Amino acid sequence: MGLRFSRLGSVAAAGVLAFALAACSGGGAGSGGGAPEAGGATQAPEDLLVGVSMPTQTSERWIADGNSVKEQLEAAGYKVELQYANDDIPTQSQQVDQMITQGADLLVIAAIDGTALSSQLQAAKDSNIPVISYDRLIRDSPNVDFYVTFDNFQVGVAQADALLTGLGLKNKDGSAGTATGPFNIELFAGSLDDNNAFFFFNGAMSVLQPLIDSGQLVVKSGQTSIEQAAILRWQQETAQKRMEDLLTGAYNDGSKVNGVLSPYDGLSRGIITALQNAGYGGAGNPIPVVTGQDAEIASVKLINDGVQSSTIFKDTRLLAEQAVVAAKAYLGGTQPEANDTETYDNGVKVVPSYLLPIVTVYKDDIQKELIDSEYWTAEEVASGQAG
Ligand code: GAL
């Protein structure tokens, strides 16, 4: 099916210019710049190229995200260039540059460092290429058109609630639990160059801070700021190292850590390894309550085995679907529909966003939320490995 572009005159004029420029530069598969053809002629999806830039393949969620976006765009007929940047900022910049040179008509970007792509985005803007920020907000640039993500503040709230539930201070339904504490906890946060890290941490602290203030929760290390809790690039090994340091520092007097706020399953696995190496999880020494995010298969197995307490499930298939809905809107010459136009100020403008809901998963929820929904199979959950 051909697509008919119906943009406003000025945008169309810019598009014609971009088209001409792309033609001059021998601009690859796409027409260059999501641009309507001169005279408003129809343009078939197979003539349009979407560049998809993902941060890393070391985390399975981004592989799933990349594959879902690519499959869904291809099913709609578009050409797709999918690249992973190995968590390396210059690599991502180069890959995005290349997508623009190839004549991409639209970009979908999950940034490694939310502030590092400004010149690429300016080039995209100059070629009239719409940019969709995927899951992580691109900051400090006016040239971000749309943001698809989950309710990230709510992720943090849910992680803190899951920590309190695991400790017995709260019940799943939000009512007060039977435990009273005080409990020793430690706090972890994500990468400070990822805008999401702040939303997760602030969401969690909105729940935890009053209990820390009242003494029911004790952060024995005293490390309560996001800068102290942050783990650069969300690295599992770095989280393991920090947990080891916390144990040998704040807990060398025989006291026990009862719970750990972890914002992401990869960090949770590093934290759990450090705890197990220090003897937690053995007889009479229960593994602390550890939270997570992303429902990564290795962590879902740990939850199933009673080692990790919970994760936050964000269905990446739905996020990909939403990115594709937004992409189709732009490529069809319309604006995607936002359901939040207030929360995500990127430092230059509030980026219209589409936020998806999240689900907390404890052991009891694995069947319903992850297996029945066909996110993972029962075999994968049992083995801890995808595929
Ligand atoms: C965040 C994302 C999380 C997690 C983390 C590490 O930006 O929202 O779901 O994937 O990166 O990859």
**CATH number of the domain to which 251 belongs:** 3.40.50.2300
d(Cα 258, Cα 30) in Å, to the nearest integer?
55
- Distance between Cα 270 and ligand 1 center (Å): 15
Considering the domain architecture, whether residues 136 and 157 belong to the same structural domain is answered as no
Considering the domain architecture, whether residues 173 and 240 belong to the same structural domain is answered as yes
Considering the domain architecture, whether residues 17 and 140 belong to the same structural domain is answered as yes
- Distance between Cα 264 and ligand 1 center (Å): 7
Confidence (pTM): 0.89
Strand partners, 341: none
pLDDT, position 337: 97
Amino acid letter, residue 345: D
Cα angle 19-24-29, degrees, rounded to a multiple of 5: 65
Token pair, residue 123, equals 């080039």
Of 318, 327, 321, the residue nearest 108 (C-alpha): 327
- Whether residue 48 lies inside any domain: the answer is yes
Instruction: List the domain range (segments joined by +) for residue 122.
Output: 2-144+315-356
Question: Domain total for the chain?
Answer: 2
- Distance between Cα 104 and ligand 1 center (Å): 26
- Whether residue 169 lies inside any domain: the answer is yes
- Whether residue 366 lies inside any domain: the answer is no
d(Cα 66, Cα 148) in Å, to the nearest integer?
14
Considering the domain architecture, whether residues 217 and 322 belong to the same structural domain is answered as no
Considering the domain architecture, whether residues 309 and 163 belong to the same structural domain is answered as yes
- Distance between Cα 157 and ligand 1 center (Å): 16
Distances (CA, A) of 64 to 12, 320, 332, 337: 35, 9, 26, 24
Considering the domain architecture, whether residues 302 and 160 belong to the same structural domain is answered as yes
Strand partners, 345: 350
Q: What is the DSSP letter of 234?
A: G
Considering the domain architecture, whether residues 211 and 249 belong to the same structural domain is answered as yes
- Whether residue 234 lies inside any domain: the answer is yes
pLDDT, position 387: 85
Would you mind telling me the total number of residues written for the chain in this entry? 387
- Spacing of C-alpha 77 from chain mean position: 26
Cβ burial of 74 (10 Å; 0-12, 13-18, 19+) is: middle
pLDDT, position 42: 54
Ligand 1 neighbourhood includes 293 CB (under 6 angstroms): yes
Considering the domain architecture, whether residues 308 and 319 belong to the same structural domain is answered as no
Considering the domain architecture, whether residues 104 and 164 belong to the same structural domain is answered as no
Considering the domain architecture, whether residues 36 and 177 belong to the same structural domain is answered as no
Treating both helix axes as pointing N-terminal to C-terminal, what angle do 265-277 and 297-304 enclose, rounded to 10 degrees? Answer: 50
- Whether residue 263 lies inside any domain: the answer is yes
Token pair, residue 34, equals 């999501």
Q: Ligand 1, residues 53, 196, 312, 353: which to mutate, most atoms within 8 A of Cβ?
A: 196
Is the Cβ–Cβ distance between 177 and 171 less than 8 Å?
A: yes
Considering the domain architecture, whether residues 100 and 20 belong to the same structural domain is answered as yes
Cα angle 233-52-19, degrees, rounded to a multiple of 5: 135
Residues of the chain with pLDDT under 50: 1-32, 34-41
- Whether residue 370 lies inside any domain: the answer is no
- Whether residue 36 lies inside any domain: the answer is yes
pLDDT, position 43: 77
Of 184, 181, 224, 185, the residue nearest 201 (C-alpha): 224
- Whether residue 373 lies inside any domain: the answer is no
Cβ burial of 174 (10 Å; 0-12, 13-18, 19+) is: exposed
- Distance between Cα 311 and ligand 1 center (Å): 12
Ligand 1 neighbourhood includes 233 CB (under 6 angstroms): no
Cβ contacts of 367 within 8 Å, gap of 6 or more: none
Considering the domain architecture, whether residues 322 and 297 belong to the same structural domain is answered as no
